[in-house]
Amino acid sequence: MPKDAAVEEFARLVRALKARDGRSYEALGRRLSVSASTLHRYCSGATVPEEFAVVDRLALLCGADEEERRALEAAWSRADRTRRPPVPEPDAEPEPGPGPRPAPEPEAEPAPDPEPASEPEHEPELAPVHARAPGLPSGRRRSRWGWVGVVCGTLAVVGTVTLGAVLLPGKTEERAAEPPAPLTWTVASHIWKNGCGHTYLVDRTPPPPPEAADARSWAAARGAVDGGETMVRVSVQGKGAAAVVLQALHVRVVERGAPLPWAAYRMDDGCGGAVTPRRFEVDLDRPRPVARALAGYDASGEEGRTLPAVSFPYVVSAAEPEELLVSAGTAGCDCRWYLELEWSSEGRRGTVRIGDEDGAPFRTSASKGRPVYGYDSVGRAWITGESSGQSG
């Protein structure tokens, strides 16, 4: 493919991704940690990125699938080769032509067998000149004992270091500890859908439903567990001015059990909202749950509009936080789980584990088939789903 055609094909694919996302060069550039002018040069074909990583992040940010990313990488490789000078092939060395044969070396005459040497007469062994103090080992024994001393000394040093590591574990771990992650986060794990809709599983009849703001203390006092769905809001920001790239969000289920045999209590009589926020949805019943980006919907205006899903990577700093909303559901387990957030910044990479406000794993139990109760605010009592018109 000609040079200009390869670069133009790559630029066309980048422009298509940018047009699909709909955001400005400046907004996309902030998420990619590049300037708006640099991103514009990529789209116009004036510049080809030095590395594919920044283009791959753009593809993920704009929702490209695996096949589109492979095609984009192939186009980048072709465009990248056009800006590198061809490597000259080394000249082949000429093969040596036929030349005069070297004269054969004369064969050496066999040397005569040496005459057998006469055996020397045994002379009496003389006593050593130096004197040896009584009680000390001989020279050969002193050498042997010297090696024993070296080995014992080495073992003593190793034993001392090992003993120090056992007796002083705090100092050893302190020296080997990795520097802390360059980001911080806060968690809200008792989020109600649309601010009013939620279900708790409780093993005994609870008092009336709380306000949404008091849900955490109400649930903790009664040992209530999220029924069917848990919504988590994670607010992430960097600790300094350096950008921190959030690469991926994973879900780790640490314990699975049979669903709790408790009754389900609904915190509302049915409610709806004008805005369905974009979020990450997790199916806890899968063997390896993943956080899947979902679009939202805003019906507050005269015409509803879709809020496009935003996939990783995200870029955060101390001045630019980011908020992640996660909705995790189950229909068949009592699951305890964590979120694991991958990050990279200034040549470092790492993963932070995110639990609830106390650092414990989130907990969600299926509520399907359980007795469902709603609260009758007139009669001031919990009534069954059949009486209230609700069902599980």
Residue 109's contacts (CB-CB under 8 Å, 6 or more residues apart) are none
DSSP-based three-state secondary structure for 58: helix
Cβ-contact 246, 339 below 8 angstroms: no
DSSP 66: H
pLDDT score, position 132? 45
Q: Which amino acid is at 59?
A: A
pLDDT score, position 276? 73
Q: Which residues face 336 on adjacent strands?
A: 255, 363
Ramachandran quadrant class, 371 (left: phi over 0; alpha: psi -120 to 50; beta: rest):
beta
pLDDT score, position 87? 56
pLDDT score, position 146? 53
pLDDT in tens, the chain (392 residues): 566 888 999 899 999 988 888 888 888 887 887 888 888 888 998 888 888 888 888 888 888 888 888 999 999 899 988 876 665 555 545 455 454 555 555 454 444 444 444 444 444 444 444 444 444 444 544 445 455 454 455 555 444 444 444 445 544 444 456 789 999 999 999 888 876 789 999 999 999 999 888 999 999 999 999 999 999 999 999 998 899 999 999 999 999 999 999 999 998 855 655 567 778 999 999 999 999 999 887 766 666 778 788 788 889 988 888 889 999 999 999 999 999 999 999 889 999 999 999 999 999 999 999 999 999 989 899 998 655 554 44
pLDDT score, position 153? 55
Ramachandran quadrant class, 380 (left: phi over 0; alpha: psi -120 to 50; beta: rest):
left
Alpha carbon separation from 160 to 140, 175, 369 (Å, rounded) = 31, 18, 63
- How far the first Cα of the chain sits from its last, in Å, is 61
Euclidean distance between CA atoms 229 and 245, whole angstroms: 29
Residue 15's contacts (CB-CB under 8 Å, 6 or more residues apart) are 43
Cβ-contact 357, 187 below 8 angstroms: yes
DSSP-based three-state secondary structure for 104: coil
Euclidean distance between CA atoms 47 and 246, whole angstroms: 26
pLDDT score, position 278? 78
pLDDT score, position 263? 96
Residue 237's contacts (CB-CB under 8 Å, 6 or more residues apart) are 183, 184, 185, 316, 317, 318, 320, 321, 322
Cis peptide before 313 (omega within 30 of 0): yes
HSE of 236, CA atoms in CB hemisphere, 13 A:
26
Task: Residue 68: name the closest of 4, 8, 7, 16 by CA.
Answer: 16
Cβ-contact 231, 325 below 8 angstroms: yes
